């Protein structure tokens, strides 16, 4: 009998949020699944950790001190922004409660593994090497597949293991520390997500140029939830060029994203608007920023794309607390 696929929604079971009694937050312990993906990790000091064959090391579950408060996100009601053509945003200032913004930022920076991806692109007849100007990592799997109890990819329709070679990359499940936030975000927004992309901007020199997340593998009018933790950075948006007379006046938009803020981009936003995080010299930008985006890939091509450009084939980086920087990780 074939194994039933487990979707990312159920890969880690999450307890329902509890309301505080007498002004105190109820202590909760994240309940992991009893499989190879949840292990006791004495080295990290966490009772439970997420592990998968594709992880270079185990990722501890969020400690109760963070999950207790995070369960009450969003901290504020989202502000709807639709005052320009084709724009459909919900802006939370903040989404993550203030009490855990710093702890969550430092926890994710310390416990996740990252990459500094390089890849080749063709510009006309010339091959050009691109060095990604930030640290990246990614977790997830498109809707055509899920993860079995043993961690392998299972076809979502047949329930059978995905054929060898169906994916050129090595998909990996979203760890509990990100999956909890993903689930809370789905509950608050009504959107579905199966990928978590994480960027670490080490300083104001790290950036991302104007682009839109309008790839076909995201489907029609995709919803993307984008979180900021750490340093405040400007989030710039501008309408894509259009033939003269087709669009009434549009103005560039600048959102000063602070720690804990979240922007939900949906509707025509990705197909009609561009967004970027520009370089910023000195000041708060040099303190470091983590950006988490949740999105939903509909086909295998989306999975291939995300792992190619956010993992690549380079070395693993991990936060070095003594050096206060990302450093190449070496297995002991």
Which residues participate in the annotated binding site for substrate? 214
Rounded to whole angstroms, the Cα distance separating 225 from 89 reads: 10
The answer to whether 257 touches 295, Cβ cutoff 8 Å, is no
Integer-rounded Cα Rg, in Å, for the chain is: 20
Sequence-distant (≥ 6) Cβ neighbours of residue 205 within 8 angstroms:
133, 279, 281
* Bridge partners (DSSP) listed for residue 262: 92, 227
Binding residues for 2-oxoglutarate: 199, 201, 211, 275, 289, 293, 295
The answer to whether 178 touches 292, Cβ cutoff 8 Å, is yes
The answer to whether 163 touches 153, Cβ cutoff 8 Å, is no
Which H helix or E strand runs over 137? strand 135-140
Binding residues: 199, 201, 211, 214, 275, 289, 293, 295
Sequence-distant (≥ 6) Cβ neighbours of residue 137 within 8 angstroms:
112, 113, 114, 115, 197, 198, 310, 311
Residue 132, number of CB atoms within 10 A of its CB: 18
Rounded to whole angstroms, the Cα distance separating 310 from 215 reads: 15
């Amino acid at each position: 009998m074939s194994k039933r696929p487990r979707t990312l929604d159920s890969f880690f079971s999450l307890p329902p949020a509890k309301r505080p009694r007498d002004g105190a937050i109820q202590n909760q312990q994240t309940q992991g699944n009893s499989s190879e993906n949840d292990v006791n990790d004495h080295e990290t000091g966490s009772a439970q950790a997420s592990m998968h064959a594709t992880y270079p090391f185990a990722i501890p579950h969020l400690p109760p001190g963070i999950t207790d408060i995070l369960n009450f996100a969003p901290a504020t009601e989202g502000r709807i922004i639709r005052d320009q053509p084709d724009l459909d945003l919900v802006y939370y200032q903040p989404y993550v409660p203030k009490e855990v913004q710093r702890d969550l930022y430092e926890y994710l920076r310390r416990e996740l593994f990252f990459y500094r991806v390089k890849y080749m692109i063709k510009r006309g007849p010339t091959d050009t090497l691109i060095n990604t100007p930030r640290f990246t990592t990614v977790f997830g799997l498109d809707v055509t597949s899920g993860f079995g109890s043993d961690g392998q990819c299972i076809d979502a329709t047949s329930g059978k293991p995905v054929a060898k070679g169906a994916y050129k990359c090595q998909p990996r499940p979203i760890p509990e520390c990100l999956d909890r936030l993903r689930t809370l975000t789905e509950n608050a927004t009504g959107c579905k997500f199966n990928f978590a992309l994480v960027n670490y901007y080490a300083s104001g020199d790290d950036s991302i140029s104007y682009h839109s997340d309008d790839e076909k593998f995201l489907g029609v009018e995709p919803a993307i939830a984008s979180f900021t933790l750490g340093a405040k950075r400007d989030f710039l948006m501008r309408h894509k060029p259009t033939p003269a007379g087709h669009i009434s006046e549009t103005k560039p938009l600048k959102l000063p994203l602070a720690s804990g803020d979240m922007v939900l981009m949906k509707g025509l936003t990705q197909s009609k608007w561009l967004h970027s995080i520009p370089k910023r010299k000195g000041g708060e930008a040099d303190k470091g920023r983590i950006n988490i985006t949740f999105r939903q890939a509909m086909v295998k091509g989306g999975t291939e794309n995300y792992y190619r450009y956010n993992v690549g084939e380079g070395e693993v980086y991990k936060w070095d607390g003594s050096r206060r920087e990302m450093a190449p990780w070496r297995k002991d």
